[in-house]
Amino acid sequence: MNASTPTDARDPALSLERLRADIAQILGESPEEIADDDNLVDHGLDSMRVLNLASRWSETGVEIPFAELMEQPTLNEWWARIDALQRRAPEAP
């Protein structure tokens, strides 16, 4: 879903700023409005959008578990998990 977004496939790997930009886009805000520790629910985030973000980010080859994103929806928390997953992930075949 949302395959044709401007941030799509720009980077081979995910970065904090890519996450921020995607989150901002899906919330209809600008990236600078999303602070690292903001509870994203206070920006109007809902589970369906979390799922969409997870599947969008999984297209980079890293399997992002949706359930984990649900627990603490802040940019920092997500980046910490995704960053760890990316480092661990083997190169895509």
Q: Which is nearer to another protein, 19 or 45 (CB)?
A: 45
Least distance from C-beta 79 to another protein, angstroms? 16
Q: Which is nearer to another protein, 30 or 47 (CB)?
A: 47
Q: Could you tell me if 75 and 40 are in contact, meaning their C-beta atoms sit under 8 angstroms apart?
A: yes
For 38-65, b/e burial (b = at least 16 CB within 10 A) is bebeebebeeebbebbbebbeebebebe
Q: Which is nearer to another protein, 15 or 25 (CB)?
A: 25
State the Cα–Cα distance between residues 72 and 40, nearest whole angstrom: 9
Least distance from C-beta 65 to another protein, angstroms? 13
**Site residues (vs another protein, CB under 8 A):** 1-3, 5, 27-28, 39-52, 70-74
